[in-house]
Amino acid sequence: MVAEWLDTKIPIISTGDMLRLEIAAGSDLGDHVKSVMATGGLVSDELVNRILRRRITQPDCAKGFILDGYPRTVEQAEYLDELLRERGMPPPVVIHLDVPAEVLVGRMVCRRQCSKCGMQFNILSRRPRTPGRCDACNAELIVRKDDKEEVIRERLRAYDDLTRPVVSYYSDGSYFQIAGDRSPMYIFEEITNVLESISGAAAGVVKQ
């Protein structure tokens, strides 16, 4: 069942990736997003909603999609519900990967990104073959501004204020909580179980 679900080539939509594309484009919008993200703040609901609406109207989302990091606020969740209704899609299945704050901080301060091609590494769990250099293009690995500890902790404070209520919002629906500090294999198996349980019945899957 899961293999059949994956064969539909459901796109994975990361709002973070979409925002970084705006930054890379060098537009006025991208410059605004860059300044907000660098300080650990959250981009406005109105802006993220507009970007998301444009993305999920593309043909590859016709059979469903996976959202990574959206919705982050109750207002975004309400917007998503209305958007799915407009498109004749069922309510989302929500997978909540719950990770303790200190574990998140430890993971993110160890993250490195290629300055040229954007490939991701982690000096604890996914080390490059040559320290400080990208495996793919040999460019320098850098620490993103939003991966510094002070920025991460500010983002976690914002998460507690704005995103925790989203869990309550979805708690009466198709909501699944998974311990995100367990092994990758455990998490994979748990997500597989969720996908088996929904049997492809939902059009959207939200990962928090």
Q: What is the mean pLDDT of each run of 10 residues along the chain (208 residues)?
A: 52 84 79 78 83 87 89 93 92 91 90 93 92 96 89 86 89 89 92 78 51
Can you give the pLDDT at residue 3? 42
- How far apart are alpha carbons 203 and 90 in whole angstroms? 6
- CB distance 149 to 109 below 8 Å: yes
- pLDDT in the model for residue 159: 82
Q: What are phi and psi of 132, to 5 degrees?
A: 80, 0
Residue 40's pLDDT is: 66
**Which pLDDT score, from 0 to 100, does residue 201 have?**
47
Residue 72: what are its φ and ψ, rounded to 5°? Answer: -100, -10
Contact 200, 66 (CB under 8 A): no
Instruction: For residue 41, give the nearest of 150, 140, 134, 127 by alpha carbon.
Output: 150
Are 92 and 206 in contact by the 8 Å Cβ rule? The answer is yes
Q: Name the helix (H) or strand (E) containing 96.
A: strand 93-98
Q: Provide the CATH topology of domain 2-207.
A: Rossmann fold (3.40.50)
Cβ contact 8:198 at 8 Å: no
